[in-house]
């Protein structure tokens, strides 16, 4: 454990250990397809319950999730549902067999609320036939109508674990080897560069939304494929007052697959996934639900947003890829604490237009002593004496130089993805 005293709080950094994947799957745990952010809060007294801890049952209502049973056929019988892969606040994700093409796919079934603008913006971001070498490929999309409304569905190529889950599962010290981290970073940036050239912002760029491709599974028999995911574990839903289930409530809940195709060989290809927060350059949202620890400061200060939010997140991602943890605290973090740490890292003043909001956020709590800057913190965390070090101090100096170009408060001052890709350190 590493403890750092900063101007905002004591920073406690735990070193991840090899541990079983939790049974509750969210966008930050196991499956690289599930969507964004926090699930809406449940009612005080839950009406339904299930022994399976997965997506919240109160979201099976008008505007919410679509109830699914294993073996269901979707889109005029083309897709057969075989297992659950995950869930998020705005979708459930299922492994399915494409009976027409003889392949396995992931189907992301979005909530129906407002006919799911989120689902359609994701479809729009992925439906271009441009280069998909490092961006998840959408092979089909359709709508399904059910008791809770009309739900956009994305049919995605089957991918392997996220980078985050691979680290947890295969590297006991929670850190990728330097050469592998460099390869992952380069491919992730190649995918991000394709998006930015198309004037699309990902909006939720971090290592949990980077996934490894896998070897093709189309020739694997259906029963063997299910065994690769683990036999489905189901828990029947009951009404807590003894009544009957409502029309939009599923008969049972399926526990998500614990380990995604673990026994299948991974390829060396990295793809960007989860486009639930993506947006075109000419139609930026007012807010983004990027995890706070990698959220760009202009989101916190309610400034105009564009694709350069991804550049700040890229800087955070590079730090985490090589060091094994984000540059900012992810324990008990608040916007106020985060901004203080951002100032320590960036080593520059906030733009004048943000100062009034910052003063109201900070209140009377003004701290004089600053913590370490970016380079000092990067070296302290990489050369911590507890985890494997296979990069030289010169490498870490170069990495700090690159990250510093991205962690700039003014979006216009951040270096483009293309420039980072062309940096000699990444070309070596």
**Annotated binding-site ranges for ATP:** 108
Tokens of 34: 């599930």
CA 272, 276, 278: angle at the middle one, nearest 5? Answer: 75
Put residue 361 in one of left, alpha, beta given phi > 0 → left and psi -120 to 50 → alpha: alpha
- Phi-psi region at 287: left, alpha or beta (left = phi > 0; alpha = psi -120 to 50): beta
Q: Which residues are annotated as a binding site?
A: 108
Distance (Å, whole) CA 116 – CA 285: 15
């Amino acid at each position: 454990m590493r403890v750092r005293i900063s101007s905002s709080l004591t920073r406690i950094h735990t070193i991840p250990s090899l541990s079983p994947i939790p049974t509750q799957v969210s966008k930050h745990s196991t499956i690289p397809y599930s969507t964004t952010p926090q699930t809406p809060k449940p009612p005080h007294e839950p009406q339904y319950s299930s022994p399976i801890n997965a997506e919240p049952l109160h979201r099976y209502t008008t505007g919410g999730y679509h109830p699914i049973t294993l073996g269901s056929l979707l889109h005029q019988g083309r897709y057969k549902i075989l297992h659950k892969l995950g869930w998020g606040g705005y979708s459930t994700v299922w492994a399915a067999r494409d009976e027409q093409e003889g392949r396995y796919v992931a189907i992301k079934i979005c909530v129906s609320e407002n006919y799911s603008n989120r689902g359609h913006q994701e479809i729009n971001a992925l439906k271009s036939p441009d280069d998909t070498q490092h961006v998840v490929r959408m092979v089909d999309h359709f709508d399904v109508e059910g008791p809770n409304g009309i739900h956009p569905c994305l049919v995605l190529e089957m991918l392997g674990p996220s980078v985050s889950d691979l680290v947890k599962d295969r590297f006991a010290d929670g850190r990728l080897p330097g050469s592998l981290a460099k390869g992952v970073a380069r491919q992730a940036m190649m995918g991000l560069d394709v998006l930015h050239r198309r004037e699309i912002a990902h909006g939720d760029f971090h290592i949990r939304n980077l996934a490894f491709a896998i070897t093709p599974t189309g020739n694997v028999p259906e029963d063997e494929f299910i065994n690769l995911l683990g036999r489905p574990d189901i828990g029947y839903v009951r009404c807590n007052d003894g009544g009957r289930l409502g029309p939009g409530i599923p008969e049972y809940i399926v526990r998500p697959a614990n380990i995604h195709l673990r026994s299948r060989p991974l390829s060396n290809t990295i793809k960007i996934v989860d486009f639930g927060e993506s947006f075109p350059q000419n139609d930026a949202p007012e807010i983004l639900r990027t995890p706070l620890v990698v959220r760009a400061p202009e989101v916190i200060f309610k400034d105009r947003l564009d694709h350069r939010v991804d550049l700040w997140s890229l800087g955070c991602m590079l730090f985490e890829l090589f060091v094994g943890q984000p540059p900012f605290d992810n324990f008990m973090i608040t916007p106020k604490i985060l901004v203080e740490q951002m100032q320590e890292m960036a080593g520059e003043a906030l733009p004048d237009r943000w100062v009034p909001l910052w003063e109201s956020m900070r209140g009377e709590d003004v701290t004089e002593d600053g913590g370490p800057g970016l380079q000092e913190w990067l070296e302290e965390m990489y050369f911590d004496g507890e985890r494997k070090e296979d990069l030289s101090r010169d490498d870490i100096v170069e990495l700090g130089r690159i990250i510093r170009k991205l962690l700039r408060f003014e979006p216009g001052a951040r270096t483009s993805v293309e420039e980072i890709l062309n940096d000699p350190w990444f070309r070596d």
